[in-house]
Structures are given as C-alpha cells and as structure tokens.
Amino acid sequence: MPDIGEGVVEAEITAWHVAVGDVIEEDTPVADAMTDKATIELTAPVTGTVKALGCDEGDMLAVGADLVVFTNVEGDITEEDPKPEPKQDKPAARPAAKPIIKKPPEKAQSGKALASPAVRKRAMDAGIDLAQVTPSGKSGEVTFDDLARFEKALEPEVGEERIKIIGMRRVIAERMAASKRNIPHFSYVEEIDVTELESLRKRLNEKKSEEKPKLTVLPFIIRAMISGIRKWPQMNALFRDEQGFLSQFEPVHLGIATQTDQGLMVPVIRNAQSLNVWETSTEISRLAAGARDASLTKEELTGATTTLTSLGPLGGIVTTPVINRPQVSIFGPNKIRPKLVLDGGQVTERLVMNFSISCDHRIIDGYDAAAMMQYIKGLLEDPILMFLE
C-alpha cells in the first residue's frame, strides 16, 4: 500500500480491478482506495502475474502493507523459476523439535477481555470484538467454544441478506455517528408563509431571459439565510472541539446536501454571499450534476462553513438534520404545502413551509437560533425585503 501523503496511515480498498491469475503490465490500475480525503486509483508498479490480493473489498489496509503480490515479475527470479539447490553429500540434519508451551490467558487491562493469544488471534482474524463475547472459561477468559457460539449467532437467518458497508456509505456512517456522539444537538422549527415568495418566484421565471436558469425556492432561502448569518455570525463557524477553539468565518461557504447513487454528498457553494439568486441557482445545478456523475474536485467537496439540506418535494413536514461536524449548524427546509387559515374572519388558502435548523448547543443558544429563524421568516414572508439590502 503506497504512502498517499497528507498524514494518511490507512485506506479502504473499495474496488479491485484485477484478480488472482491476471497477467498485467506496469501502471495498470489494480484497485481504488478511499481515505477520508479522497478516492484514488492505485496502479501496478511492475509487470507480472497477480498471485494474491492483500485484502477484500471494503477492508482497511495500512500504508506499507501488502496490496498485491506478484509472481513472474519481469527481470526477477520468482517462485516458479527457482534457483537450483546445491547437491549435498549427506542428508541435512533434522532440526530439534521445539517444545509446545501453552500460554495462559492474558490478563485483562483497562477492561480488556481475558483470552489466550491463540483465541485473541482467531478473534482478530474473524473481525470479532472480544469485549462482545460472553466468556465461559474458569478464570473468566473467552474460549474457542465461546467464539464459535458467537459466530454461530452471527450467521444469516433464512431470507436475510448481509451487505458489507463500504466506500461512501461507510464514510457517511462514520461521520454521522461522530457528529451525534460529539455534538449536543438541538433543533428549532418554524412555519413560514411562502405565498408571496412563490408568487414572486413565478413572476421572475416568466420574465427571465433564455440564458438565465429557472428559479426554485432554494436560492431565495439561501439569500435569506446569508442575511441572517450576517447578524448571527456564530452560525457560520467550525468548532475545533479537540483543540478548544471556534473558527468563525466572514465568507459563507455553503454545503448543499445532494443525494447520489453512492449516498449523500455535500458539494460547496463558495462565497455564496456574493451570488445573486440567478447565480446561486446556476451553481446549485452545476454542483448537483457534478456530485451525481462524480466529476467534482476535492476543493468542491470540502471547506463548507454551514450546510443546507433539502429533500425537495419529499421534504416532509418536519426534519431534524444532523450537523456535519465540525460545523455548528445545518438548515433544512421542508416541502411547501397548502393550508387553510383564518384571515379577518375569512378562510383563505395559503402556501406554508416548515423550516428547521439544528445547532451545536455548546456554541449556539436556543434564543439565538429562534431569533435568527424569526428574522429569516420575515424575509421569506415579505421577499422584496431581500432585494432592498
């Protein structure tokens, strides 16, 4: 496994492009490897025959570990072309047999499960956490029988399909777990009357020139969010909790959560505060297309200072989105729906939308989240105000 750089010590092998027995040339792609920073293609350093692969798809491989083992390497003497052994005048003396010493179970340290080295190796090879295995040994150690019972309980049931979590889905799982584990979330939801906003949006689309994109509601929501962030800048920040400081930003680098076949990706609108609604709409479309066809660069997928996540017409009534650590806030508009309201003694139909925000309670107080949402509500309910700033 080559040294990828940037402090990476291991990578997940997400796909193999060769199999045992393949004859390949130097620089032929052999595997795809994913780190927490990027996915890269690994190539063969030599020409030869693939003898063994270092791991299965979905496994983590440390830098320096065997990735691919080759035989019949050009210019080298291999196992299939061994050097002849020198003739001997007499048989070689048989080495003395080594005594077999059965080691006792290792003592538990800091909650570590008791087990003999052999049992511990068997568990490691099988990917079993000994702490999850119920021990039956006389001294409280885990035995081979205990491992067998544990593995038996893990066998698939009738009609069960087990799918290994690898690649992008594994990264998503790890990041979401880390966010929920480390961030004390709270969510605030406000109902917003978007009748006037929808009317303005439709008029602008009817009068737009051909080169301008069709406007959805998202560019208006983003404009209102950015206006709110100017007044509550702590929303546009990264909390480096392990180092103990908050990085607060003037430019808004807005992550746009986008669903793809590989899972949720979050491309970034850089300097979103400098774009008008038409430019914002164009950038949203460009980034969404790039996320779905996997053509975005590393720079277009990193560096967000806050995030907007929207399920579009599937937006539901209320969402409580999970913060993308180390960010401290995430915004989530829900679907627009008709609602009958009483206005001056008359029942009228209005268009309403719930708008959610989830915040890191270590940095953001509930009062500030509520105040900001009320400010955003005012802009979206009287959208002309957004264009008077």
Indicate which residues carry an active-site annotation: 361, 365
* Closest by Cα among 197, 373, 210, 351 to 278: 210
Q: Report residue 256 as tokens.
A: 């746009």
Residues 59, 62, 67: CA angle, nearest 5 degrees: 70
- Name the one residue in this structure whose structure tokens are 């050097």: 83
Distance between CA atoms of residues 359 and 369, nearest Å: 8
| Exposure of 288 in the CB half-sphere (CA atoms within 13 A) | 15
For 78, other C-beta atoms within 10 Å of its C-beta total 14
Q: Report residue 336 as tokens.
A: 């627009």
Q: What is the DSSP string of 340-379?
A: EEEETTEEEEEEEEEEEEEEETTT--HHHHHHHHHHHHHH
* Closest by Cα among 235, 311, 227, 297 to 267: 297
Q: Are 381 and 352 in contact (CB under 8 A)?
A: no
**Amino acid (1-letter code) at residue 208:** K
CA distances from 24 to 49, 51, 318 (A): 6, 11, 54
Distance between CA atoms of residues 373 and 352, nearest Å: 15
* Closest by Cα among 271, 261, 267, 180 to 226: 271
Distance between CA atoms of residues 126 and 120, nearest Å: 10
Alpha helices of the chain — where are they, by DSSP H?
117-126, 144-153, 167-182, 195-207, 218-231, 277-292, 366-381
Phi, psi dihedral angles at 79 (to 5 degrees): -65, -30
